[in-house]
Structure 1
Amino acid sequence: MGGLFLFALIFGFSSREKKYRVASAGLIGGVLLLVIGFYFLKETDFVKNNSVLGRFRDVSLSDSGNEARFIIWNMALQGFKEHPVLGWGMENFNLVFNKYYDPRLYTKEPWFDRAHNVFFDWLISAGILGLLAYLGVFASAMLALWKKRSIEFAVFGGLLGAYFFQNLFVFDQLISYILFFSVLAFIHMFGASEKKQPIKFAPAAAMALTAFIAIIFVFVFYAVNIKAYFENRTLIEALKFASQGPDKISDVFEKFKKAIAYNSIGTREAREQVAQLVTQIAGRDDIPQELKMEIAKYAISELKKQLEISPTDTRYHLFLAVVYNAVGDFGNARASIQKALEYSPKKQQIKLELIQSYYLEKNFDKAIELMQGIIGETPNYPAARANLILIAIVAGMDELADKEITELAKQAVFEDDDLKRWANAYASRKRFDRVVQLYEELSKRYPADTQTSINLAAAYVELGEKNKAVEVLKTAISKTPAFKTQGEQFIQQILGN
């Protein structure tokens, strides 16, 4: 719509014939009428129920997504001030994001590699000189169109204007680059003067040059495309195997090692996936301890290699800490966390991993102290308060847990997973009265969920209230007939023992 408006505006001002100027004015008026009409009709069911119009209707500067953009732009501005002339280098926005991280982003994606604004991206990647060069591309294209003063000027001027405006809120991708450079190529062809001049090549020299280029192409194609293809295919196979059960973990590990051995563009991702595999299998008893330790040692080795390449990348210091925590090496975990905090001092995710280290070590006082610090920085961070409640329950600090539960209830509805985690923590302390309270809440939310009913009944049994346990199971059978056989077996077991 904006491109159409700009096309009409440019065409109207650049056209020398009155009929074209009148047509342009009519088009501008039509666009304005559409916008005004949309404003007055935006609350109608037609607009609300239309997937495209509905998105326009929901556009708001106060939207959480746009609010996050404004925060990230401010972070980018801080990074630009640090390196204003040449920037931080290509693909290094993550360094700025980590260093100037704003804790208000706790609900968003923890790892941004773009500013969601092309102009800020260029300021970070190449500084003011890079941004001026980028803007110069637009300026030279518009200048070439201006010299012709034809309909093409209006058409492509409108396209470039719309693209320019879009870049205020997004980052470029392959498809947008293809379209952008296609437009630039047409503008160049449209504005360039043709000069025919024969190219003289000796046949032997031409053959030699062709052969040389072909050889270089083969090597580059293998290094850039073929290796990347096989590495990514192997990585996908590993991820598929990972979902097929514990007997496939050894195969998954071998696939990861094979993928990393290609040493191509997917190596970073493969190393991250190995680290995540360590955390996924750390607490499982159905996987041999020797295999778990072998995978962990390999993950640590690969993450250290990655840190040799990217020593200032917070992400890999954190991944290394996660692996160390998973195998109980809390000293090295904290050393990695401290390194991560040097490059990203305000990131809650790093501090949460430090808390996890103390929690796993059963140093609950330190874990609670650090968690209260995070809540002090971001009082409206429900996940942090939910984790504080869990630690307090495990530590036997029921008064603190009750206080924080009351505070959390003022901020948000309790998450299902949090209720289950708290119930498990209370169960580990034989506080089945609290387990009953939590599963009664879950039962209200999901009255037809048989597993919730089973857990609630089990808690009643532990309290010695068998009649209530039987009543819960009978209610579950009435709501889920398919549960009848299993439910009656549970009832017989309860009454028999």
Structure 2
Amino acid sequence: MSNLLIKTITCVTHLLLLTPLVIAPWFVYPFVAPKAIFFWVISEIIFALWICLAILNKKYRFKESVLFYSVVGFVLVSFISSLKGVNLTLSLFSTFERMTGLITLTHAAALFIALSSTFTTIKKWRQFARTAVFVGFLAAIVFFLDDYLGEYLPQSRRGSTLGNSSFFGSYIIFPIFFAFYFFLRDRGLSRIFAFIQGLVIFFALYFSHATGAFYSFWIGIIFVMISYLFFNNIFDLNFFSRMPFRQRVKPSDIPKERVFGLASLVQALALKPSWVVAILVVLITVSLSSFIAYGTLTQNEKILNFLPAKLHQSRIGARLVVWSTSWQAIKERPVLGWGFENFQTAYVANYNPCMPIPEECGGEIWFDKAHNAVVDTLVASGFAGLLAYFSIFGTATFLIWRKGYNVSALMSRKKWLLPAILTALLAAYFIQNLFVFDMPTTYLMFFFVLAMVGGITTKKLGGNYATAIPARTGIDRLIAKGRLPRIQGLSSILADAIFNKSFNLKSLIVCLFTLAVLVSGLYFFGYRSLLSAHLVWESMHTTVPNIENRLKLYTASLKATPLGAIQTRQSFTNNAILWLEQEVNFPGETLKIIEREAEKMAKENPYDLRSNLVLGNFYNAMTKYFILKFKDRDTAQIYLDKARLSLEKAFELSPTNQQVYLSLSQNFIFRKDYKTAEKILQEAIDLEPRYGDSHYNLGDLYVIIKNFDKAAVKFDDALLSGYRVDTVGKASQIAQAYYEIGQYEKAAKWYEYVVVKKPKDPDAHWTLAVIYRELNEFDKAKFQAEIVLKIDKKYAGAVKEFLKTLKKID
């Protein structure tokens, strides 16, 4: 029975390593959510099978080690920090876009325990590593076929099956190091195959935009080279036993007072020339890395221009500002942090107003991750979490290199190779994580490597190997003696319960309970999560015919699981705002249901800025909707007051965020309290004068109150700041301001934009005709007037008189 369970776990583990290839376009975030749920399901199956195996055979129960305590400690600290954090639900479930909540972390830790306890031989782990390499090879091939697989890889962004080049780079460093290991270790066809796989993976990594992963890979390779130089004589550390010249000197011949002196060091290096090369490589690597790091982190243009093109692409934009902002958040909660997955709450509380400025702060406004694993951990779990996080790397490295490492006894040659590769892999993973963040696929591979380290270092610290009972127990012995036919599946477990003394009724109950928990986990974490992800996708899909059907799908997805509920509600509420602006009809109780779910979104996430801001914007849109569509100012006033409360709450959460100021100003414009709205918008400009949106909104306010001189000045400021005019309405406001103050050339430019976007708008063509007349461009004026006549015959009289004036002027 034990053998059957081991074989089953082996097969399922190989299946688990296919996670990076999982894509499902019919789910929301098809590159992320399906992978994470697949990872959950397979991990649960492996863990349940391991529990049954551990009950049957004590040999496979988990072994105590410093790495085990480090992993468990990190998970516990993450849970405690989340309990003390600002949003426990988000900490547990995360969002469909990330899927990196405590549920994913717990599944990864369970996978570590199960695999490290089940597989303790390097031979078995090599089989898994070969599968990992092959999967990475397939992902690399898909990377090169991105342009031909657009139908199956929607919005891949040069990320192969990972969907993003950064995520692709974070994952691919694992199989590339394993391929490098097999290339150095194997012989014959296996070596050639490893070389081909590694080469394809390497070029995929090179041509991706994952700069951090690419250069962290090279740092790892340099570490392997240094290890070769140090340990090519299989840890022969007797410096003085080999002389590069005829005279041989014994260590005893060197005076004791010179053992730690410079002369002894020089003589030792002379006796071991490979050490000299290794030290030089280390010095060059450290110097070059420091040079690159300084240029990248300080964004020094001279250094960046001097570096190769690959490094020149590694400008980290907004991340430097985000890291600086994060430090303020860390100081507010230094011990246990803000809770897992709550980075955005900490970030907006210390928001830097320069974030929308591309030249200085990158131009990105919303960040739910710091793009730095160390900073993310500090914000999420404080220094307690960071210490636990570092301890995982420290204990894993210690176990890899500690004296008595039992892999040495299992490898016939190159005893240094596997420890060097694993250390280089962990180092490369850590370094590249300084510029990106973990996703479910990287969690899988990281904990897979940790399980490998834990599995092949089964020797207890300060003691003997874990005591194991024979693999054959109870039913296995009876089958071997021919007294009982071979039985498979659940019947074998029941038979073991009868014939195996070590497997009693209590053990059977535990196995059945594990089976029940597994079924529940597969249903709630597997089926219902997949159902919710599909329903969310379908509710936002363009093929859904009407709002009522979309709403049914939307509410059904929320009932399926709390997973991603906050993001789902935000997205659907934003869609509802667009529908309100278009003044569409909402059948039955549709609008009330949308409003109820939007209010629930803010109530369940009181410290989430985006939830409160979206709710405030929704109420603002409802105000405008009831005024314009139904002329119902009483109902509009109710929503106006609700919007103000929500937006004031958002202001408390992020008092330096311009998005809040812009929404709050709209609320006062609807109230016709223009002085307060002007004051709020001016405060937004004072926060960051280079932000064009603030200038445009103030200019828009001046158009409303007919102060066109000030409006034109603000529109000029907005356009000089790089403000992007992306709607006809905005272009019309700018054009009107310039027209009213007689700046006809500027007005003509924007009205030309309007008539291109709205060719059937007679008013726009008419105004443009008048402007051309003022600019003495009579042919253009006549042409626009004739277009007006074609669009609407009601303008016939006015066009006739207009054409007469043109002839008189001409």
TM-score by length of 1: 0.79
Do the aligned partners of 1:453 and 1:473 also contact (CA within 8 Å) in 2?
no
Report the counterpart of residue 440 of structure 2 in structure 1: 174
The CA distance in 1 between the partners of 2:663 and 2:750, in whole Å, is 30
The CA distance in 2 between the partners of 1:457 and 1:416, in whole Å, is 20
Change (3 A) 1:225 1:496: farther
State the 1:34 CA deviation.
Answer: 11
Report the counterpart of residue 279 of structure 1 in structure 2: 577
1:288 counterpart = 2:585: yes
Report the counterpart of residue 374 of structure 1 in structure 2: 684
Worse-superposed segment, 131-140 or 192-201: 192-201
Candidates 469, 480, 489, aligned match of 1:197:
469
The CA distance in 1 between the partners of 2:369 and 2:506, in whole Å, is 46
- Structure number with the bigger relative contact order (C-alpha 8 A, sep ≥ 6) is 2
Report the counterpart of residue 493 of structure 2 in structure 1: none
Do the aligned partners of 1:278 and 1:326 also contact (CA within 8 Å) in 2?
no
Deviation digits for residues 360-417 of structure 1, max 9, x if unmatched? 33332221211111101101111111221111112211121122234345433x5333
1:78 counterpart = 2:333: no
Candidates 588, 595, 602, aligned match of 1:300:
595
Change (3 A) 1:29 1:310: closer
Change (3 A) 1:438 1:305: same
The CA distance in 1 between the partners of 2:772 and 2:454, in whole Å, is 84
State the 1:496 CA deviation.
Answer: 6.7
Candidates 768, 791, 795, aligned match of 1:460:
768
State the 1:458 CA deviation.
Answer: 3.1
In structure 1, give the amino acid aligned to 2:322.
Answer: I
Candidates 98, 101, 105, aligned match of 2:355:
105
The CA distance in 1 between the partners of 2:387 and 2:287, in whole Å, is 37
Report the counterpart of residue 482 of structure 1 in structure 2: none
Rg: which structure is higher?
Answer: 2
Number of residues of Structure 1 aligned to a counterpart in Structure 2: 462
Deviation digits for residues 229-248 of structure 1, max 9, x if unmatched? 1112111111114x76xx61
Report the counterpart of residue 212 of structure 1 in structure 2: 513
1:314 counterpart = 2:609: yes
Do the aligned partners of 2:524 and 2:561 also contact (CA within 8 Å) in 1?
no
In structure 2, give the amino acid aligned to 1:105.
Answer: M
In structure 2, give the amino acid aligned to 1:421.
Answer: K
Report the counterpart of residue 56 of structure 1 in structure 2: 311
Candidates 526, 533, 537, aligned match of 1:236:
537
State the 1:473 CA deviation.
Answer: 8.5
The CA distance in 1 between the partners of 2:329 and 2:502, in whole Å, is 50
Could you say what the CA RMSD is over the residues aligned between the two structures, in angstroms?
Answer: 4.1
1:396 counterpart = 2:693: no
Change (3 A) 1:392 1:92: same
- Segments of structure 2 that go 5 or more residues without pairing to the other structure are 1-217, 235-271, 293-307, 358-362, 406-414, 460-464, 474-500, 624-638, 802-810
Change (3 A) 1:96 1:118: same
Do the aligned partners of 2:616 and 2:644 also contact (CA within 8 Å) in 1?
yes
Deviation digits for residues 128-166 of structure 1, max 9, x if unmatched? 121111111111111112224722222122111111211
Report the counterpart of residue 221 of structure 1 in structure 2: 522
1:3 counterpart = 2:269: no
Do the aligned partners of 1:426 and 1:432 also contact (CA within 8 Å) in 2?
no
The CA distance in 2 between the partners of 1:464 and 1:15, in whole Å, is 83
Report the counterpart of residue 41 of structure 1 in structure 2: none
Candidates 372, 382, 397, aligned match of 1:127:
382
TM-score by length of 2: 0.51
Report the counterpart of residue 158 of structure 1 in structure 2: 424
Report the counterpart of residue 94 of structure 1 in structure 2: 344
The CA distance in 2 between the partners of 1:435 and 1:421, in whole Å, is 17
State the 1:197 CA deviation.
Answer: 2.4
Pairs within 5 Å for 1:401-480: 401-412=711-722, 415-417=724-726, 420-424=729-733, 431=740, 437-441=746-750, 443=752, 451=759, 457-461=765-769, 465=773, 471=780
Change (3 A) 1:70 1:425: closer
Change (3 A) 1:433 1:491: farther
State the 1:469 CA deviation.
Answer: 8.0
Do the aligned partners of 1:90 and 1:126 also contact (CA within 8 Å) in 2?
yes
Do the aligned partners of 2:227 and 2:420 also contact (CA within 8 Å) in 1?
yes
Name whichever structure is richer in helix by fraction: 1
Report the counterpart of residue 47 of structure 1 in structure 2: none
Report the counterpart of residue 657 of structure 2 in structure 1: 347
Deviation digits for residues 28-49 of structure 1, max 9, x if unmatched? 79989999xx9xxxxxxxxxxx
The CA distance in 2 between the partners of 1:266 and 1:449, in whole Å, is 37
